[in-house]
Structure 1
């Protein structure tokens, strides 16, 4: 089940992120994630199975430039590779398509998972070495949402 994030989910989500350190996130990113949840949250969704949070991911909006950004995707290691991330990403693509102000969906990720987004229809736009932390490069991908 995919539902909107609530403040009661915060501690469980931090624990979920920790399960993905150091495989997909650097240790220092935990503080960034907490700040995101407390100060930069716009639309954030969680995936529940049997009353347990197994994945989460968000959207942030930049209507002045007609862009939205996928943010803070995290999937429980036991559920990776089982289609959960695909369903959550498609849910957000469908959600953002309903906003006529948004023409471009952007994801900023790492070299570890950018191919997942390419399979979802995103195209690689740029890279930057050690952007997130040492060994965690920026891979920015784009998906046009309307004919430009």
Structure 2
């Protein structure tokens, strides 16, 4: 993991990112999501990163914004199967969470994932809000989760 580097996505990374995505179909993503990813990479990126090890891209993940940039959305993250289970996905997620936490206007961080990966986000502090069956494709349910990053105000008289 010493050789892990997270850097900003560049247009020249698209083919490799798509290749890594395909290596996660159908285990984590429906094949029909490939066109959505290509559209995202071409038109919808706001902040996107790649994870590299020994100068080879092994994963990617992004951030988008909603609610006048008060909500950060964790988007399109995946790691090549040969590198899963080694903490790389967690490092990539933590990189984005730290970036979002540093933005004073961000109150909430959301992720829309599936039943296949929601436990990863749960382990990293996200809370499940909603499930919608067959949302992404048949057999790929939507799991909406959020991560509250601002503490609620302390109520007068509340004990700490």
What do the CA deviations read for 1:24-58 (whole angstroms, capped 9, x no partner)? 11111000000000110011010001121111000
Q: Distance in 1 between matches of 2:98 and 2:129?
A: 22
Q: Distance in 1 between matches of 2:8 and 2:128?
A: 28
Taking a change above 3 Å as real, the CA distance of residues 9 and 65 of structure 1, as seen in their structure-2 partners, is closer
Other-structure match for 2:108: 104
Other-structure match for 2:39: 35
Taking a change above 3 Å as real, the CA distance of residues 65 and 41 of structure 1, as seen in their structure-2 partners, is closer
Taking a change above 3 Å as real, the CA distance of residues 14 and 65 of structure 1, as seen in their structure-2 partners, is closer
Count of residues in Structure 1 that have an aligned counterpart in Structure 2: 148
Gaps of 5+ in 2: 153-160
Other-structure match for 1:78: 82
SS in structure 2 at match of 1:147: coil
Q: CA RMSD in A?
A: 0.9
Structure number with bigger Rg: 2
Q: Distance in 1 between matches of 2:47 and 2:8?
A: 7
SS in structure 2 at match of 1:10: helix
Gaps of 5+ in 1: none
TM-score normalised to structure 2 length: 0.90
- Which runs of 4 or more aligned residues in structure 1 lie more than 4 Å from their structure 2 counterparts after TM superposition? none
